[in-house]
Amino acid sequence: MTTDVTSESAAVGGPASDDADLVLQTWDVTLRFGGLTSLDHVNLQMRRGEILAVIGPNGAGKTSLFNSLTGAYTPQEGKIVFRPKDGGEKSLLGSKPHIVNRLGLARTFQNIRLFSALTALENVKIAAETRLKAGPVSIMLGLPNARKAERLSDERAHRLLKFVGLEDKLNEIAGSLSYGDQRSLEIARALATDPQVLLLDEPAAGTNPTEKLELEQLIRRINTELGVSVLLIEHDMRLVMSVADRVMVLNFGKKIAEGTPSEVQQHPAVIEAYLGSSAEDAAAVQEVIAEHEHESASDTEDGQ
Amino acid sequence: MSLQEFWDYLVLGLMLGSLYAVIAIGYTLVYGVLQLINFAHSEVFMVGAYGSLIVLTLVDPGANPSMLASIGFVALAMAGSALFGGVTAYGLEKVAYRPLRRRGAPRLIFLITAIGASFFLYNLAGKLFGRDPSTLPEMYKNENVFTIFGAGVNITQLLQFATAVVMMIALDLLVNRTKLGKGIRAVAQDAEVASLMGVDIDKVISRTFIIGGVLGGVAGFLFANLNQVSYTMGFIPGITAFAAAVVGGIGNIRGAMLGGVLIGIVETMTVPLLGDEWRSVSAMVVLILVLMFRPMGILGERVGRAA
Amino acid sequence: MSAVETSQNLTPSQAAKLRRTAWYRQPRFSRLWAMVALGVLLALVTGEQGNTRDIFYSLETTFTGGGLWVCLALTVGVWVLREFAGDGLKGLAEKAKPGTVAPLAAVRGRFQADKRLRWGLIVLALVLALAIPSMVERYWQTVLVDQIAIFVLLAIGLNVVIGWAGLLDLGFFAFFAVGAYSTAFWTGRLPIEPPVVLNPFWVIPIAVVTCLLTGLLLGAPTLRLRGDYLAIVTLGFHEIIYLVAKNADGVTGGPQGARMIPDFSIDFAGISYKWSIDPLPYWYLLVFFIVIVIILFSRLEHSRVGRAWTAIREDEIAAAANGVDTVRFKLMAFAIGASTSGVAGVVFTSKYGYINPEVFPLLQSILVLAYVIFGGMGSIPGVLIGAAALVWLPEALKDYVDPSDRYMYLGALLVIMMIYRPQGIWPSRRRQRELKLAEQGIGDADAMSEPAGGKF
């Protein structure tokens, strides 16, 4: 499934000196569904330890990009390379989702996908346990290594639930948690697999302003305290602008801009993409963004 | 195997395959609109055969009917099987599946319900009509009508093949040309959107079951005409036809036809090569092989997109 | 016209149209027709046995006999009660509701909550299981051994596959056949000679491994497929095993099968014992195996393996995205489940003394499935109760109900169960929650949807 592509990447790759810094890199990733091109020659460079946000209007191909990175989709063209901390390069193109996860990329889903009938603790333990090696035979016989594995996963799950602030909801059924708590739980579950890169798919969708603030802090803490690089898809511009180190903009499956948040905000192509016309007035864009924020904030307030 | 044998068995296989194709369409149609294997479809087939037996017993063709009378008896028997098949399929949907659908039950529950319904129906038929197999009364004098590649084709075979082909053409037209067909395709593509667009999903599903039931019922009659009527007759043709639907790409009507013919030919060809007792095994082996290399079947899935 | 249709208020013409709706199409009366249809069905179900010579015999006797009227009176009576005295009944039911939970649910709740009570009940059940059989007639002892214990063992195995991993296996009994034929082979009773002839005790591990391998062999190509294909492939697998047993005369003995299969015996460290025609010793042996299997499997249920199975059952895509190797765990469930059939196959064959293909019809696979579902998928006590009750029931009723009708009732029971109580009589807590959530549109309760890596 996963092959070493060092020899080939040199031929295709960008500037060689930067490569070691890049934890995740794609070249010309193209994904088609029938006649529809969902991703069109997307080049992504993600530095180790950064928070990179991917923004773009609905249908721009953000989630398709996530799915291609995590092995849910296999793009027809291009290369996807992941560079683990301990050196080497792994091609992710067409790898099975669980293999991608084991390499060190964990994800959350846009429409939260928890194991709803299990408790919060069990949800996280399932993820933590994929790193442990206790086979069915040793479990059935109750061998010491099985007990140790159980204890380890339990400790890890407790620690992570504490990290996201769910330590007093360990034994609650995941499906009955509040929306914000479900988000945190999903993040804790993803973290339990000990990832190097965490992919968050619209974590702020449907959260209220307080939860949004907490989320912002959580993403920062994941980045700084755990040293995990974060790839973030988000609609909420304020969150993106405050938390992201760099922003990449997709529209109609193409990368149209990349840079620091303030650079991207000024970029004419971005303005066009969001407005659908070539207005040059940056102030107008700011207004639209502000409006959008206001709307989504009040939407969620109504919803709560 | 001599060349002549080959042609003989090929023609036989094609006949059998056309029958499997008709039954397979019943599975595929329901799968298209509900994403559910209607395991009880084999019982619809069986009830259809009993429908023709009941009608024929009532009208009693007697010995040596005239040609016109023969045509009348065949038509009556066919109508009887269509009616019984359609009603059974309709009843199944209404009693067993609709409550589950309303509740949004998981698929496993649907499958088990279908198995339960199948169990109930065939044992009920065994109870009502006796558990020994019986034969349909003779409606016409069966003789060879023509030969193709040296293989003789008799009236029963011709009737079977022609009816199957006519029904398939009619169904293809129905699905692609009529308003109901459009509804079926819409529900198969996306039931939720279809309902937002004003398609009455309950009605479409109900009618899909009836169409599948009519096809299955008539297939039951054709099968019984060639073999026998018995309460367990649905099982083997049922799973074979289901295998055919999967081989062709379940949810895809033309796939079901292709799969049916393919399985029919493979099964029949097994007889001279390995012996009659291995024919079901060969169908299952084909199923497993096709699924291993083309998990979505030969023509891929879905009624809406590919039909 | 269009203006009329869009308006919210009923115009006189529409109101008239509503009034003109035929009386028999009002909901109340369509319910009446449904009840009448049910009554007719009930009469047919309970009517006389038909026969092939006169196919109308059963219909005639039913429609001219009094049974039809009794059934109709019953169902129409229910309709009258529900339609016209419905409010009163509802009030009664509501008054009764707080305080009185259904008795079984109450026991179950206490059983799951109180650890001491649980162990007490388990010990009690074990003592009863060991004590009672020696007090019943020989006939019932045979039923206990040949049917109840064997099917309990099978149901526990199938529960792993369907209840825990959420995979619909319709050919489970084929593994039992594999176990049985392994026994015949290793005791030297098949046309082909084994390398060494073994005591049935030594065949058990071999049969378990054979079943495990068969499970892997069948699962490896098929478990990557979407879940509902598995149903048909396993069904086909059972049919293949059956036909091979029947037709491969040179290997399996064909329709005659194998005879004179030896009983279990122990000759070890001075202890020498031979199981024989008496069912009781076999009963103790089987109880021993059942207890062992339950202990091992319940450890699995509450371990990482059990949790991974639940994860796959609930959301395969999320499970894979969190590093669960879904295919591996499904294969594991398949193989582990199959292994109990190995044990059951050996004990059954050895006790029964002969086998032939007709012992393993496809019907049996469906029956085991019915037992698991009736008891409660995913719950070991449920599966025990389900298998024991449903095997015992037809035996107990065989003087009152025509035995050839029992599968009809079983089919009806499955349908009714799925409509009104899909979780079974003693459901597992997880499973019950899942079904409830699945019905609200949150999550899945089986591994039936697209496999990971497919569409989103």
Residues of C with Cβ-Cβ distance to B302 under 8 angstroms: none
Q: What is the band of A291 on the pLDDT scale with cuts at 50, 70, 90?
A: low
Tens digit of each residue's pLDDT (9 = 90 or more) over A55-97: 888 778 888 898 899 988 888 889 999 998 887 888 888 888 9
Tell if the CB–CB gap between C299 and A113 is shorter than 8 Å.
no
Task: Give percent of chain C with pLDDT exceeding 70.
Answer: 85
> Of B240, B303, B304, which is closest to residue B23 (Cα–Cα)?
B240
Tell if the CB–CB gap between B281 and C243 is shorter than 8 Å.
yes
DSSP β-ladder status, A36-47 and A22-33: antiparallel
User: What pLDDT shows up at residue C4?
Assistant: 41
* Spatial distance between the Cα atoms of A262 and C143, rounded to a whole number of angstroms: 80
Residues of C with Cβ-Cβ distance to B113 under 8 angstroms: 414-415, 418-419
The Cβ-side half-sphere exposure at C67, using a 13 Å CA radius, reads: 16
Residues of A with Cβ-Cβ distance to C431 under 8 angstroms: 117
Q: Which of C304, C440, C450 to mutate to test the interface with A (most CBs of A within 10 A)?
A: C304
Q: Is residue A149 less than 8 Å (CB to CB) from chain C?
A: yes
User: What pLDDT shows up at residue A10?
Assistant: 38
> Of B20, B87, B12, B19, which is closest to residue B48 (Cα–Cα)?
B87
Q: What is the band of A11 on the pLDDT scale with cuts at 50, 70, 90?
A: very low
Chain C closest-CA separation from residue B158 CA (Å): 28
Q: Which of A114, A126, A143 to mutate to test the interface with C (most CBs of C within 10 A)?
A: A126
* Spatial distance between the Cα atoms of B155 and B153, rounded to a whole number of angstroms: 7
DSSP lists the bridge partners of residue C204 as none
User: What pLDDT shows up at residue B302?
Assistant: 47
**CA triplet C113, C114, C118: central angle to 5 degrees?**
110
Tell if the CB–CB gap between C314 and A115 is shorter than 8 Å.
yes
Q: What is the band of C270 on the pLDDT scale with cuts at 50, 70, 90?
A: low
> At residue A276, does pLDDT exceed 70?
no
Average predicted confidence (pLDDT) for chain A: 82
Residues of C with Cβ-Cβ distance to A150 under 8 angstroms: 303-304
DSSP lists the bridge partners of residue B146 as B153
Tell if the CB–CB gap between C404 and B126 is shorter than 8 Å.
yes
* Spatial distance between the Cα atoms of B44 and B56, rounded to a whole number of angstroms: 18
Tens digit of each residue's pLDDT (9 = 90 or more) over B281-293: 888 888 888 877 8
Whether residue C282 contacts residue C274, with contact meaning beta carbons closer than 8 Å, is answered with no
Tens digit of each residue's pLDDT (9 = 90 or more) over C165-209: 988 888 999 999 999 999 999 988 888 888 888 888 889 999 999
> At residue A226, does pLDDT exceed 60?
yes
Whether residue C234 contacts residue C169, with contact meaning beta carbons closer than 8 Å, is answered with yes
* Spatial distance between the Cα atoms of C381 and C426, rounded to a whole number of angstroms: 7
> At residue C292, does pLDDT exceed 50?
yes
pTM above 0.90, yes or no: no
- Interface confidence, given as ipTM, is 0.86
> At residue C291, does pLDDT exceed 90?
yes
Provide mean pLDDT across the span C356-374: 89
User: What pLDDT shows up at residue B211?
Assistant: 94
**CA triplet B257, B262, B265: central angle to 5 degrees?**
125
Provide mean pLDDT across the span C86-109: 62
Nearest CA in chain C to A189: C322
**CA triplet B292, B295, B298: central angle to 5 degrees?**
100
Provide mean pLDDT across the span C404-411: 86
Provide mean pLDDT across the span B151-170: 88
Q: Which of C58, C161, C168, C232 to mutate to test the interface with B (most CBs of B within 10 A)?
A: C232
Which residue from A98, A114, A175 is facing C325, i.e. has the nearest CB? A98
DSSP-derived 3-state class of residue A96: coil
* Spatial distance between the Cα atoms of C230 and C236, rounded to a whole number of angstroms: 10
Average predicted confidence (pLDDT) for chain C: 82
Tens digit of each residue's pLDDT (9 = 90 or more) over C232-256: 888 888 988 998 999 888 888 888 8
Which residue from A102, A117, A122 is facing C323, i.e. has the nearest CB? A102
Task: Give percent of chain B with pLDDT exceeding 90.
Answer: 39
Chain B closest-CA separation from residue C170 CA (Å): 10
Whether residue A13 contacts residue A19, with contact meaning beta carbons closer than 8 Å, is answered with yes
* Biggest CA-to-CA distance, chain B: 60
Tell if the CB–CB gap between B239 and C53 is shorter than 8 Å.
no
> Of C142, C172, C129, which is closest to residue C154 (Cα–Cα)?
C172
> At residue B263, does pLDDT exceed 90?
yes
DSSP β-ladder status, A51-55 and A36-47: unpaired
Give the pair of three-digit tokens for residue A212. 């949004």
> At residue B24, does pLDDT exceed 90?
yes
Tens digit of each residue's pLDDT (9 = 90 or more) over A93-144: 888 899 999 999 999 998 889 998 899 999 999 999 988 877 888 888 888 8
Residues whose CB is less than 8 angstroms from the CB of residue A61 and which lie 6 or more positions away in sequence, other chains included: A31, A38, A39, A40, A42, A250, A252, A253
Provide mean pLDDT across the span C150-156: 94
Average predicted confidence (pLDDT) for chain B: 87
Q: Which of A36, A112, A113, A177 to mutate to test the interface with C (most CBs of C within 10 A)?
A: A113
Tens digit of each residue's pLDDT (9 = 90 or more) over C120-129: 888 888 888 8
Question: Which chains have 3+ CB pairs within 8 A of B?
Answer: C
What is residue B94's DSSP assignment? I
Give the pair of three-digit tokens for residue B119. 């169990």
3-state secondary structure string, chain C?
A: CHHHHHCCCCCHHHHHHHHHCCHHHCHHHHHHHHHHHHHHHHHHHHCCCCCCCCCCHHHHHHHHCCHHHHHHHHHHHHHHHHHHCHHHHHHHHHHHCCCCCCHHHHHHHHHHHCHHHHHHHHHHHHHHHHHHHHHCCHHHHHHHHHHHHHHHHHHHHHHHHHHHCCCCCCCCHHHHHHHHHHHHHHCCCCCCCCCCCCCHHHHHHHHHHHHHHHHHHHHHHHCCCCHHHHHHHHHHHHHHHHHHHHHCHHHHCHHHCECCCCCCEEEECCEEEECCCCHHHHHHHHHHHHHHHHHHHHHHHCCHHHHHHHHHHHCHHHHHHCCCCHHHHHHHHHHHHHHHHHHHHHHHHHHHCCECHHHCCHHHHHHHHHHHHHHCCCCHHHHHHHHHHHHHHHHHCCCCCCHHHHHHHHHHHHHHHHHHCCCCCCCCHHHHHHHHHHHCCCCCCCCCCCCCCCCC
Tell if the CB–CB gap between C415 and B99 is shorter than 8 Å.
no
Residues of C with Cβ-Cβ distance to A173 under 8 angstroms: 433
Provide mean pLDDT across the span A227-253: 89
Q: What is the band of C5 on the pLDDT scale with cuts at 50, 70, 90?
A: very low
- What is the helix (H) or strand (E) element at residue B236, kind and residue range? helix B235-248
Q: Is residue B277 less than 8 Å (CB to CB) from chain C?
A: yes
> At residue C396, does pLDDT exceed 50?
yes
The residue among C42 and C452 whose pLDDT is bigger is C42
Tell if the CB–CB gap between B57 and C408 is shorter than 8 Å.
no
> At residue C9, does pLDDT exceed 60?
no
**Exposure string over A119-151, b if 16+ CB within 10 A, otherwise e:** bbbbbbbbbbbbbbebebebbbeeeeebeebbe
DSSP string spanning B128-145?
Answer: HH-SS-B-PPP-S---EE
Q: Which of C418, C433, C434, C455 to mutate to test the interface with B (most CBs of B within 10 A)?
A: C418
The residue among C164 and C452 whose pLDDT is bigger is C164
Q: Is residue B107 less than 8 Å (CB to CB) from chain C?
A: yes
User: What pLDDT shows up at residue C252?
Assistant: 87
Chain B / chain C CB contacts < 8 angstroms: 177
Q: Is residue B244 less than 8 Å (CB to CB) from chain C?
A: no
Which residue from A96, A109, A117 is facing C314, i.e. has the nearest CB? A117
Find where tokens 């099985």 sit. Answer: A146
Pick from C274-283, C288-297, C392-401 the range whose average pLDDT is largest: C288-297
User: What pLDDT shows up at residue A184?
Assistant: 92
* Spatial distance between the Cα atoms of B150 and B136, rounded to a whole number of angstroms: 29
User: What pLDDT shows up at residue C152?
Assistant: 94
Give the pair of three-digit tokens for residue A120. 């919060």
DSSP string spanning B158-210?
Answer: HHHHHHHHHHHHHHHHHHHHSHHHHHHHHHHH-HHHHHHTT--HHHHHHHHHH
Tens digit of each residue's pLDDT (9 = 90 or more) over A155-210: 999 999 999 999 899 889 998 898 889 999 999 999 999 999 999 999 988 888 88
* Spatial distance between the Cα atoms of B100 and C421, rounded to a whole number of angstroms: 11
Q: Is residue B67 less than 8 Å (CB to CB) from chain C?
A: no
Residue type, B130: G
* Spatial distance between the Cα atoms of B160 and B138, rounded to a whole number of angstroms: 15
Tell if the CB–CB gap between C45 and B123 is shorter than 8 Å.
no
Residues of C with Cβ-Cβ distance to B121 under 8 angstroms: 411
Which residue from B99, B100, B128 is facing C44, i.e. has the nearest CB? B128
User: What pLDDT shows up at residue B306?
Assistant: 32
> At residue A12, does pLDDT exceed 60?
no
Chain C closest-CA separation from residue B36 CA (Å): 8
Q: What is the band of A16 on the pLDDT scale with cuts at 50, 70, 90?
A: very low
Which residue from A116, A149, A153 is facing C443, i.e. has the nearest CB? A116
Provide mean pLDDT across the span C204-216: 92
The residue among B117 and C7 whose pLDDT is bigger is B117
Chain C closest-CA separation from residue B99 CA (Å): 7
Residues whose CB is less than 8 angstroms from the CB of residue C422 and which lie 6 or more positions away in sequence, other chains included: B105, B109, C435
Those residues of chain C whose CB sits closer than 8 Å to some CB in chain A are 296-297, 299-300, 303-305, 307-308, 310-311, 314-315, 317-326, 332, 336, 430-431, 433-434, 437, 442-443, 452-453, 456
User: What pLDDT shows up at residue B198?
Assistant: 82
Tell if the CB–CB gap between C247 and B277 is shorter than 8 Å.
yes
Return the number of other C-beta atoms located less than 10 Å from residue C78's C-beta. 13
User: What pLDDT shows up at residue C13?
Assistant: 64
Q: What is the band of B84 on the pLDDT scale with cuts at 50, 70, 90?
A: very high
Q: What is the band of B82 on the pLDDT scale with cuts at 50, 70, 90?
A: very high
